[in-house]
Amino acid sequence: MHDFMSLLPLIIIGSGAILLMLLAAFEKIEVELAAYISMAIFGIGFVVQLLVGCGDQTVLFEKVFNGMLVSSNFTMIAGLIILGCGFFTAMCSHTYFKINQFCTLEFYSMMLFGACGMLLLSLSQELITAFIALEIMSLAIYILVGYDRTNVTSTEAILKYLMLGAFAGAFFTMGTALIYGGAASTKFADISTSIVDGSASHALMIGGAFLLFVALLFKVAAIPFHAWVIDVYEGAPTPVTGFMATALKTAVFAVFANFLALNDSLHGDWVTFLFYISVFTMFGGNLIAIGQNNLKRMLAASGIVHSGYLLIALVAISAEHFTGSVIGYYLAAYAVGTMGMFAALSYLGGKGEERMNFDDFKGLAKVRPYSAAAIAVFLLSMAGIPPTAGFMAKFYVITSAITAGHMALAVLGVVSSILSMWYYLRLIINMYFHDSEETFETSGSPLASAATFVLVFCVFAIGIYPIVI
């Protein structure tokens, strides 16, 4: 029964996706109603996930699924983040598509399919399952990115993402094949066993794991696999960008951590590699972000930086006592902050996303003080200023790094967050310390603003009551 309950959120989201697809085929409902339906599905999924809770590591339906899916506290947290992000994305989309009218019913169905793939990805402990989940997720996201077919930037974005994403998928399969060749299994548990008893071929394991890491690092936009992320984030519709930045990253990091944590010696082999990747990701991301004028591009680059911090946490995990709490908490904190930013941009962006540059937000605080305050809170959370969630998240990541003996990495992480102050403060300065030239009239529904303020509450709630840890 417990196995079924653990799968229930996935089942709910999956059937919701199919339901919406059918409704779309019959063209019986309005787009707005579809938004409410998907909100409801995500909401129910979230509540169910919360109620089911989870104990320790459990293999779900071991006989039927042959150990492909494993649930744990960590996957539950990842699931909650994904479902929560889906819920808020649906809210933002409702508003966004009132202003920008290129939405059809399939949009929400695709979003649910994407979330379905993400949930599956976070649960999977087997490489083929992970690959299938990754592709379910990616295909849905490709479509969402290019949803505005008449928009040139969107088309550019989808082309870039699809081409590079296909490569990443290919790398993943190749890596799976090599690992299967080396360890004679695609199940994480069996791979670990064969590494321990020495039957795995070292060369094949190295090659396979490297290719897997390339694919995963591509999905989380770690440097040097980050080239797509800036343009794709800019081209995608704002709510979709928010969904990608938060839920997708959560799912990929979940499977990444699960794979790394399968064995200490595997993790030990790759620590140095991940160390340098994370340093380059943090500093490179900061340099990219400092140069941006467009907010979505800046947030994309800041997403790279946050991937760097998450990689610190990955470097610091210990396979023996892996709980994923640090990564889970960081993902949650990052998700609320980023989701909040995109929720605010969904309704402040205006028609055709006309307001997206730093300069467009000059004087926002004078005209819309509450929105400006909300954005300031999200930015401060991303910058890691207490008492927001971002601070506690940074605190745990640095603690885990120092505990694992990576003092240098902790110091570099701190230096990198000093650099990142610049572009977060820049927007706050623009909003507060300049006079407004425009009125920031917004149309659409109030759902996105509601999402924004709920997320402000979440930023403080998660920061002040860090229950996960």
Partner 1 sequence: MFEYALSVMIFLPILSGLVLLLSPVSKGAARLVGFLVSVVILLLGVEIFLGFTGTGGMEYVQNRPWVESLGISYGLGVDGISLLVLMAATVLFPMVFSVLKTQSKGYYANLLITQGAMIGAICATDLVLFYIFWEIMLLPIFFMIGLYGGENRLSATLKITIYTIAGSLLMLAALIYVGVSYHAQFGKWTFDIVQLAALDLSGGWAILAFIMFMIAFAIKTPLFPFHTWLPDAYTEAPTAATFVLSAIMAKIGVYGVIRFVVPVFEIEFARFAILLSLAGVTGMIYCGLAAISQKDMKRMLAFSSASHMGIIALGVFCMNVQALTGTLFQIAAHATSTGVLFLFVGLMEERMKTRDIDDLGGIAYKAPIFATFFAITMLASVGLPGTSGFIGEFLIILGAIKFNAFIGVLAGTALVIGVCYMLWMFQRVFFEKSNARTVEFQDLSTSELLTFLPVILLIVAMGIFPQAFIKKIEPAAQQQVAKVFAMTQAQVADTKVPNPGHNNHKN
Q: Which of 352, 411, 443, 461 binds partner 1 (CB under 8 A)?
A: 411
At closest approach, how far in Å is the CB of 301 from partner 1?
Answer: 18
Answer yes or no: are the C-beta atoms of 200 and 194 closer than 8 Å: yes
Q: What are the structure tokens assigned to 72, written together?
A: 């744990």
Encode 77-107: b = buried (16+ Cβ within 10 Å), e = exposed: bbbbbbbbbbbbbbbbbbbbbbbbeebebbb
Q: Which of 4, 407, 438, 457 binds partner 1 (CB under 8 A)?
A: 407
Answer yes or no: are the C-beta atoms of 428 and 379 closer than 8 Å: yes
Q: What are the structure tokens assigned to 96, written together?
A: 């966004």
DSSP 285-319: HHHHHHT--BHHHHHHHHHHHHHHHHHHHHHH--S
Q: Which is nearer to partner 1, 271 or 421 (CB)?
A: 421
Q: Which is nearer to partner 1, 19 or 385 (CB)?
A: 385
Q: Which stretch binds partner 1 (CB under 8 A): 148-156, 225-233, 244-252, 404-412?
A: 404-412
**Residue 36 within binding range of partner 1, rule CB under 8 A:** no
**Residue 414 within binding range of partner 1, rule CB under 8 A:** yes
CA distances from 387 to 391, 428, 451 (A): 7, 17, 21
At closest approach, how far in Å is the CB of 285 from partner 1?
Answer: 17
> Cα(306)–Cα(397) distance, rounded to whole angstroms?
11
Q: Which is nearer to partner 1, 295 or 374 (CB)?
A: 374
At closest approach, how far in Å is the CB of 394 from partner 1?
Answer: 8
Among residues 12, 133, 145, the alpha carbon closest in space to that of 65 is found at 133
Q: Which is nearer to partner 1, 189 or 402 (CB)?
A: 402
Q: At what angle do helices 152-183 and 202-219 cross, to 10 degrees?
A: 160
Q: Which is nearer to partner 1, 88 or 395 (CB)?
A: 395
**Residue 102 within binding range of partner 1, rule CB under 8 A:** no
Q: Which is nearer to partner 1, 205 or 410 (CB)?
A: 410
Number of chain residues interacting with partner 1 (CB under 8 A): 31
Answer yes or no: are the C-beta atoms of 334 and 382 closer than 8 Å: yes
Q: Which of 40, 163, 196, 418 binds partner 1 (CB under 8 A)?
A: 418
> Cα(75)–Cα(19) distance, rounded to whole angstroms?
25
Q: What are the structure tokens assigned to 209, written together?
A: 């794991």
Q: Which is nearer to partner 1, 203 or 415 (CB)?
A: 415
Contacts with 445 (C-beta within 8 Å, 6 or more apart), sequence order: 94, 95, 98
Q: Which is nearer to partner 1, 216 or 410 (CB)?
A: 410
**Residue 403 within binding range of partner 1, rule CB under 8 A:** yes
**Residue 402 within binding range of partner 1, rule CB under 8 A:** yes
At closest approach, how far in Å is the CB of 93 from partner 1?
Answer: 28
Contacts with 101 (C-beta within 8 Å, 6 or more apart), sequence order: none
Q: Which is nearer to partner 1, 31 or 434 (CB)?
A: 434
Q: Which stretch binds partner 1 (CB under 8 A): 148-156, 162-170, 349-357, 409-417?
A: 409-417
> Cα(246)–Cα(161) distance, rounded to whole angstroms?
17
Contacts with 40 (C-beta within 8 Å, 6 or more apart), sequence order: none
Q: Which of 24, 394, 456, 462 binds partner 1 (CB under 8 A)?
A: 394
Q: Which of 425, 445, 453, 454 binds partner 1 (CB under 8 A)?
A: 425
Sequence length of the chain is 469
Q: Which stretch binds partner 1 (CB under 8 A): 37-45, 108-116, 140-148, 414-422?
A: 414-422
**Residue 461 within binding range of partner 1, rule CB under 8 A:** no
Task: Note the residues at the interface with partner 1 (CB under 8 A).
Answer: 373, 380, 384-387, 391-392, 394-396, 398-399, 402-403, 407, 410-411, 413-415, 417-418, 421-422, 425, 429, 432-433, 466, 469
